[in-house]
Amino acid sequence: MKKNPMQLDKEELQILSDFEQSEFQSISNFKAEKLELETAARNSLQKDKRINIRISSRDLERLQMRAAREGVPYQTYISSSLHKLVSGRLVEEK
């Protein structure tokens, strides 16, 4: 039987190499650490404020087209873009 070789990128190959060389260590209190990280993720993703803005029809159409290309609702796309902007992770398309 032929083995199906995995296609790994550079980062995945580094992780595999580190794993094989026992570079990873178990977390001493895994359940508590997991709960803390889940709580932080939940709190950072919670949408608890509503805003209303006025934008041009042209800008809205462009946002809707970009959202469609990404396969997400346009309001989700706008929210995600704003989050990336304020967190310094927005990379503008050219």
pLDDT at 36 over 70: yes
Instruction: Give the whole-angstrom CA distance, residue 66 versus residue 59.
Output: 11
pLDDT at 21: 92
Of residues 2 and 30, which shows the higher confidence score? 30
Query: For residue 76, is it within any domain?
Result: yes
pLDDT at 93 over 80: no
Angle of CA points 8, 11, 13, to nearest 5°: 50
Query: For residue 17, is it within any domain?
Result: no
Residue 74 lies in domain: 53-86
Question: Backbone phi, then psi, for 92, in 5-degree steps?
Answer: -75, 135
Instruction: Give the whole-angstrom CA distance, residue 2 versus residue 12.
Output: 22
Query: For residue 1, is it within any domain?
Result: no
pLDDT band at 63 (very low <50, low <70, confident <90, very high): very high
Angle of CA points 73, 87, 41, to nearest 5°: 70
| Count of beta carbons in the 10 Å neighbourhood of residue 9 | 8
Q: What is the mean pLDDT of residues 80-88?
A: 87
